[in-house]
A and B are shown apart, each in its own frame.
Chain A
Amino acid sequence: MTQTIVIARYNPELDEKPHQETYQVQSDDNTSVLDALQQVQQQDPSFSFRWSCRMAICGSCGVMVNGVPKLGCQTFLRDYPVGLVITPLSNFAVEKDLIVNMEPFLEHLSAIKPWLINTAEGTQPHVQTPKQLAKYQQFANCINCGLCYSACPQFGLNPEFRGPAALALAHRYNLDSRDQGKAQRMPELNAKNGVWTCTFVGFCSEVCPKKVDPAAAINQGKVESAKDMIVSAFKPTGAR
């Protein structure tokens, strides 16, 4: 059957501001939003959007579907019988059509050092028990799609906020028994733009395609930050 979709279009070289255009696409029960976007691109080769794996692994095809952040490949036209409006991810600057500038998100991500920090020498593997793995495993499923940043009203108000995915990953590495980098990450979490900008809206966890639950990670991070403040009060000034 034929379905109508509305897509936000913007060409910075021609348009003063974004506008919406209507397209007809062929759809059945298996047609994803990403499939529909590819059909539109065949109709109009000037249409731009990001995609890669089409199986919710790469995190490239994030768009707003009727105002809610979604992965295009994981969202199906059959669930939108009254039609859909597809716009670029909220809270990011639009570069062209559905392509946004992800650079601010990547800066926040690198600021919290999302990698194993371990100074141990040698070639032995870092052994980990299932219990130690279970502590952080849920928070390790992030694919950096940025949907949580589009869902977060606090990131919308304050782009300096480190944001859901970055803070969830900081928590993930802080909980990892192989990691020794917590002391290096805590100053970022303790800051105003760290965990403390979050007001536990929780929409980040709702839209997360990988069920990472960043809202839980950030609020566990608040407990860690509060503990860190108490501990620091008993340390000599130079050691803070």
Chain B
Amino acid sequence: MNNGTKQPKRSDEPIWWALFSAGGVCFAVLIPGVLLSLAVLYPLGLISAEMLSYERIHFMVFEAFFGLAGLAFVGAAICLPLFHAVHRIHHGLHDLQWAHGPVAKVICYGAAILMSAIALGLWIF
């Protein structure tokens, strides 16, 4: 019986859970708005093409708020939702007993880190 004589190791799960939670908020609040405006209203012609003109988007992504608006958008619309999605996949793999352990973890969160790096790289360069 374990009466607390040996302390168990601290889990690193809070890090992934925090990213998952933040990504969940972005998924729930930001992504529907982005999809509505870019994938529904714009193709239907309900918002003017001028709203998405190169100059306007370039200003918003690279110059607004000292150039940080683009960073915030990439982080909130791509990176954090990625961590949310892979967290669900990682735990889903465990629940289905398909894969659990360090390899699945590295592949899942590694994919999110890699794709986030690509997204941020595209913003920077």
Using a CB–CB cutoff of 8 Å, the interface residues on chain A facing chain B are 107, 110-111, 113, 153, 157, 184, 187-188, 190-194, 196, 199, 222, 225-226, 229, 232
Contacts A107-B2, A226-B17, A229-B14; is A157 near B8 (CB within 8 Å)?
no
The A contact surface, by secondary structure, is: helix
A110 contacts B3, C-beta separation under 8 Å: yes
Contacts A107-B2, A111-B2, A226-B18; is A191 near B97 (CB within 8 Å)?
no
Q: List 28 A-B contacts (CB under 8 A).
A: A107-B2, A111-B2, A153-B95, A157-B94, A157-B97, A187-B7, A187-B10, A188-B4, A190-B8, A190-B11, A191-B8, A191-B9, A191-B10, A191-B11, A192-B8, A192-B9, A192-B13, A194-B11, A196-B11, A196-B17, A199-B95, A222-B14, A222-B17, A225-B11, A225-B14, A226-B14, A229-B14, A229-B15
Docked Cα-Cα span, A114 to B31, in Å, equals: 43
Q: Mark B13-53, 1 if CB is under 8 A from A, else 0.
A: 11101100000000000000000000000000000000000
Docked Cα-Cα span, A135 to B14, in Å, equals: 24
CB-CB < 8 A to A184: which residues of B?
A: 4
B10 contacts A229, C-beta separation under 8 Å: yes
**Among all A-B residue pairs, the 8 with the closest Cβ atoms:** A191-B8, A196-B13, A226-B14, A192-B11, A196-B11, A187-B7, A229-B14, A190-B10
CB-CB < 8 A to B4: which residues of A?
A: 111, 113, 184, 187-188
Interface size counted on chain B using CB atoms at 8 A: 18
CB-CB < 8 A to B17: which residues of A?
A: 196, 222, 226
Q: Smallest distance from the beta carbon of A23 to chain B beta carbons, Å? A: 36
Contacts A190-B11, A194-B8; is A111 near B3 (CB within 8 Å)?
yes
A157 contacts B95, C-beta separation under 8 Å: yes
Q: Smallest distance from the beta carbon of A201 to chain B beta carbons, Å? A: 9
- Of all chain B residues, the one with the shortest Cβ separation from A185 is B4
Q: Smallest distance from the beta carbon of B39 to chain A beta carbons, Å? A: 30
Docked Cα-Cα span, A107 to B1, in Å, equals: 6
Contacts A157-B97, A225-B14; is A199 near B8 (CB within 8 Å)?
no
- Of all chain A residues, the one with the shortest Cβ separation from B16 is A196
- Of the candidates A107, A113, A199, the one having the most CB atoms from chain B within 10 angstroms of its own CB is A199
CB-CB < 8 A to A229: which residues of B?
A: 10, 14-15
Docked Cα-Cα span, A222 to B16, in Å, equals: 12
Docked Cα-Cα span, A31 to B15, in Å, equals: 51
CB-CB < 8 A to A110: which residues of B?
A: 1, 3
A187 contacts B8, C-beta separation under 8 Å: yes
